[in-house]
A and B are shown apart, each in its own frame.
Chain A
Amino acid sequence: MSTLPPPPDPTSDASLSRRSFLRGCAAFGGLTALAASLAPLREMGDYTSTEQFLQKYYKELTPDDMAKVIARIEGEVQKEYGIRPHVRDLKPMDGVEFVYCLNLTRCIGCRKCVHACVAENNQSRNPEIQYIRVLKMPHGSMDVEKGNHTYDAKEVPEKGFFYMPVQCQQCHNPPCVKVCPVNATWQEKDGITVIDYDWCIGCRYCEAACPYWARRFNFTKPEIPKERLNPNMSYLGNRPRKQGVMEKCHFCIQRTRAGRYPACLEVCPVGARKFGNILDPESEVSYILREKRVFIQLKEEMGTSPRFFYYFDK
């Protein structure tokens, strides 16, 4: 559109031609619309600092870079919550591959694991983000479609039902990792699939790819009460997340890579949860997979090959 406007007619009594008036209106409207559409950028500073924006990919960070990143995160958390956290970047141990076993004979569906997980991993309390869903299932069926995770009973276990907690299965062949367009999630050599919250773009492809509904999205800024913040944090684990990133169970990476049991296991009142190193023949999980009636890996037919096993006593 390179046609020039015709020169204003000197005989006209209007000082402004109709064409230039309309053009001015269109330009003004367009600029206004552009400004309005960019308005959310004013809030950018709340959740992306310049250092974070310029930060390198996790696997390319040198130890010095990581120290700076950790100092930044500790500062951000202190500013936000008034508590100085202890953030670490724990690496996988050699000769360790984690496996989780869950005893369906023992689980009573008390949901203590759900809330211990929320407390340990600094999940948002409102809106609620929970990594574990406890499915109430009728006896005689293994069909998860028949499960109900919003049951509201006075007392558990209820007659005629068993309970199946489902969380991230830490697959050998994780579909969520394959679909990530920016490699913000990957499988570590100890078997934990981790997420770099600073690299995630929030496209939610992984949430769609996961057959276990294990991944959660932060639709809003997470709301964590100061008095319930867990200051023992890990870069790939439970440091507070931002709005617009994915999160999921990471086998309590800040505990398990320091040799401890996950929070959901420690709180389980019936000892239904078992965790350990499958490469150690003396570990509980090796014993269970060797001696017990291990049922499936959940949705085995998906070919994901989970590291999370369900088993029975009898």
Chain B
Amino acid sequence: MQNRNASTNAGLAVLTVVFLGLGAFFLVSGGGRPVPRQNIPLVDPKFLSTAPWRQTYADLVRTNQDLSDYDCYGCHEKNKPPPIRYDLNHKIIIPKEHSDIVMGHGAHDRNNLCYNCHNEQNLLTLQVRDGREVGFDNIPQLCGSCHGPNLRDWEAGAHGRTGGYWNRSLGPMQRLSCANCHNPHAPRIPTREPAPGPHSLHGPAGSPAPVETAP
């Protein structure tokens, strides 16, 4: 009897030590604590902007902005179409007064005759290939004279950005003109910086330990 009591007590003592040790281990290792969150910065508001990339002549008129770029006869002489020069590779030589223009229209940039679109008789207007005059505020008609399918899609609302109301009885649908997105001299959409990608709950694989934000 005495013997059994002694062995039971010894067993209990061992168990107590084991459990206390386990408790201390869990406290130190933090097994039950919530996973620390990583620090995710708020996205730059520039990625939330719905403003169009470019401003057209019509936008400048509407918002009463500087139109001096369109005052062609401030420098050019009337009834004297400016000459166009090419280098040996058939690349257009851009005069230094227009050095802001980057030409890149058409396959191999070959749509490089200014008077394909500008009206040589009246630089204040544009012209389609059949000679019809088109104002700077009516670009879709000009672009559509070559890019017919795109004009058709644009008129149906299937090409280009839209905004506002899908339900026309509740409000207007906002449309943009060709030049709000495309640079007419180099219409291909340039590459852009993408907005930040998703952060996983525990940070990307192989990255350093996540930063704890909240205590």
Contacts and interface: CB of A to CB of B under 8 A. Distances in A.
A82 interface: no
B164 interface: yes
A275 B166 contact: yes
A157 B191 contact: yes
A181 interface: no
A127 interface: yes
B2 interface: no
Given A150-B198, A151-B194, A269-B181, 5 more contacts: A126-B38, A155-B192, A261-B163, A268-B161, A271-B181
Contact of A266 (B50, B156, B181): B50
Interface string A282-297: 0110011001100000
24 contacts: A109-B194, A110-B47, A114-B195, A116-B50, A125-B40, A125-B42, A126-B37, A127-B201, A150-B197, A150-B204, A155-B194, A156-B192, A219-B201, A258-B170, A259-B166, A260-B170, A261-B163, A265-B163, A266-B162, A269-B53, A270-B161, A271-B181, A284-B157, A292-B158
A248 interface: no
Interface of B: 37-40, 42-43, 47-50, 53, 153, 156-167, 169-171, 181, 189, 191-199, 201, 204, 213
A288 B153 CA distance: 9
Contacts of A276: 166
Interface in A106-153: 108-112, 114-116, 118-119, 125-128, 130, 133, 149-153
A80 B201 CA distance: 24
A23 interface: no
B24 to A, nearest CB: 18
Contact of A119 (B38, B48, B171, B199): B48
Nearest to B163: A266
Interface centre among A149, A269, A276 (most CB of B within 10 A): A269
B161 A277 contact: no
B42 A225 contact: yes
Nearest to A265: B162
B162 A284 contact: yes
Contacts of B53: 269
Given A116-B48, A126-B37, A271 B166 contact: no
Contacts of B196: 111
Nearest to A269: B53
A295 to B, nearest CB: 15
Given A269-B161, A271-B160, A271-B162, A112 B171 contact: no
Given A126-B213, A287-B157, A259 B42 contact: no
Top 8 closest A-B pairs, CB basis?
Answer: A259-B170, A259-B167, A284-B157, A155-B191, A111-B195, A271-B161, A287-B156, A271-B160
A267 interface: yes
Nearest to A116: B48
Contacts of A275: 166
B9 to A, nearest CB: 12
